[in-house]
């Protein structure tokens, strides 16, 4: 072809809907214009992908970037910096900031803060509350909104909706798929006394598997009653996986890399507070069920990192005073590519979970697929690279990772967002230019 392109990614192994094979990717005006042999074409910029694998851009649909109000842990710039360095092209950010993102003003504020500061494209959840439930049908249509997020257990401020009537009201008012943290708050309160001071191995006892499945059964029942669609975040238990596989008509499912990679009690004994998150890291039988039902049998729809950083000083407090949450947006790709290298996961399934899945669940417009007319979002990886994950590599303001010392096979070498190379060989390039993600249901 004699067409002149803005960018050509040359000579890489392309992995997309057509399979895997050597091909070039041509970009015009931030969109993919052609995939194939572009050896005779010219371009304003060329990226040499020889020896590398070119994937559809990885989308992380669950991050907590802490701005506004909690910037000592993270902010939109540092969080998106970590994302871009990790090969992630877009992030969906959670509403439990200060103030909570629960109305048009707080949503507009986040979009304004993100403009020309975030390295990746982005969208923000609006938090569902008892007070705004009647208006969620309007709020979920705001520009830059990826949907409604509800905490059925373990949240702060007004974001907790523990009761069935509150959840029913949310589901009766939303029209898009609503996203849930599904733990039963009533059982969590009953079990707080089981926490042993300074003993993180008691965390999955306090927040036991029954707390999760009890909430998820309630949630699915309410979704079917109201005719709503739901997305269940960070599913961690065997019981939930075995239950949700029968309810895919209403429920989509997220799993995190850490719940697939870490297991109790070893993780708590080795990492202490750095392994503490909600829902907890669980025993090997639950990890095995996530792999069997979530990965191999296809119940899981997306991978999300649940990137939720806290400072080392905060994590140094003895359990249960230590806060729950860990960073993860920068390590999602190398962790999961290591599972690919070890034969536990196919590269095609990785693509399904990190790009196509986000499009299916959330209805992203022109994103989530490497195809003509879609945004030129590419995650370029070296599937054979062997590198060790370390604290020092992390761009997150918290400065640590639970995977310090993890020997990864597979590494993000470049991140391309709408045709612009924002990361190459571990270095950010140019200036932050992330833009809001658009969604089919709100165009």
Any idea which residue has 């050896």 for tokens?
39
Strands, E assignment, 49-128 = 53-56, 58-63, 88-93, 121-127
The H or E element containing residue 44 is strand 42-48
Would you say the C-alpha torsion 70, 72, 77, 78 has a positive or negative sign?
negative
Sorted by sequence, the CB contacts under 8 Å of residue 117 that are 6+ apart come out as 76, 77, 80, 432, 434
Q: Which of 209, 211, 142, 136 is nearest to 166 (CA)?
A: 136
CB 60 within 8 A of CB 91: yes
Contact 424, 413 (CB under 8 A): yes
Set 24, 75, 306, 375: catalytic member: 306
Q: Which helix (H) or strand (E) holds 424?
A: strand 420-424
The 8-class DSSP code of residue 283 comes to B
412 phi/psi in degrees, rounded to 5: -75, 125
Question: Could you confirm whether 306 is annotated as catalytic?
Answer: yes
Locate all alpha helices (DSSP H) within 248-290, ordered by sequence. Answer: 257-261, 266-271, 284-289
Specify whether the CB–CB gap between 173 and 147 falls below 8 A: no
The SS3 call for residue 165 is helix
**Positions marked catalytic:** 306
């Amino acid at each position: 072809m004699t067409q002149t392109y803005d960018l050509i990614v040359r000579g890489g192994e392309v992995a997309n809907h057509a399979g895997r094979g050597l091909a070039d990717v041509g970009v015009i005006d931030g969109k993919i214009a052609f995939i194939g042999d572009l050896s005779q074409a010219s371009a304003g910029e060329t990226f040499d992908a020889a020896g590398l694998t070119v994937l559809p851009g990885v989308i992380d649909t669950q991050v907590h970037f802490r701005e506004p109000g909690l910037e000592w842990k993270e902010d939109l710039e540092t969080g998106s910096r970590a994302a871009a360095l990790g090969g992630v092209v877009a992030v969906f950010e959670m509403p439990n900031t200060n103030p909570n993102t629960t109305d048009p003003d707080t949503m507009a504020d986040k979009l304004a803060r993100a403009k020309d500061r975030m390295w990746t494209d982005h969208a923000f959840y609006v938090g569902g509350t008892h007070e705004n439930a009647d208006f969620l049908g309007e709020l979920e249509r705001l520009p830059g909104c990826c949907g409604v997020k509800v905490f059925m257990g373990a949240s702060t401020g007004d974001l907790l909706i523990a009761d069935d009537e509150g959840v029913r009201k949310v589901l009766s008012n939303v029209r898009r798929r609503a996203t849930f943290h599904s733990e039963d708050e009533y059982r969590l309160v009953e079990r707080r006394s089981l926490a042993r001071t300074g003993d993180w191995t008691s965390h999955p006892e306090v927040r036991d598997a029954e707390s999760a499945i009890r909430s998820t059964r309630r949630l699915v029942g309410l979704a079917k009653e109201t005719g709503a669609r739901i997305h269940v975040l960070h599913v961690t238990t065997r019981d939930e996986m075995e239950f949700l596989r029968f309810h895919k008509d209403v429920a989509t499912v997220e799993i995190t890399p850490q719940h697939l990679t870490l297991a109790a009690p070893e993780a708590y004994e080795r990492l202490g507070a750095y392994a503490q998150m909600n829902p907890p890291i669980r025993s090997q039988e639950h990890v095995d069920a996530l792999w069997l039902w979530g990965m191999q049998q296809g119940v899981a729809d997306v991978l999300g990192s649940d990137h939720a950083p806290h400072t080392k000083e905060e994590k140094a407090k003895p359990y249960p005073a230590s806060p729950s949450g860990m960073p993860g947006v920068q390590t999602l790709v190398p962790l999961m590519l290591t599972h690919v290298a070890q034969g536990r996961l196919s590269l095609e399934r990785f693509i399904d979970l990190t790009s196509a899945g986000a499009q299916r669940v959330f209805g992203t417009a022109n994103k989530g697929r490497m195809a003509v007319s879609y945004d030129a979002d590419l995650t370029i990886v070296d599937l054979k690279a062997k590198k060790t994950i370390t604290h020092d590599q992390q761009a997150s303001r918290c400065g640590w990772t639970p995977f310090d010392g993890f020997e990864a096979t597979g590494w993000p070498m470049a991140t391309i967002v709408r045709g612009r190379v924002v990361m190459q060989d571990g270095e950010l390039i140019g200036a932050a230019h992330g833009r809001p993600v658009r969604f089919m249901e709100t165009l």
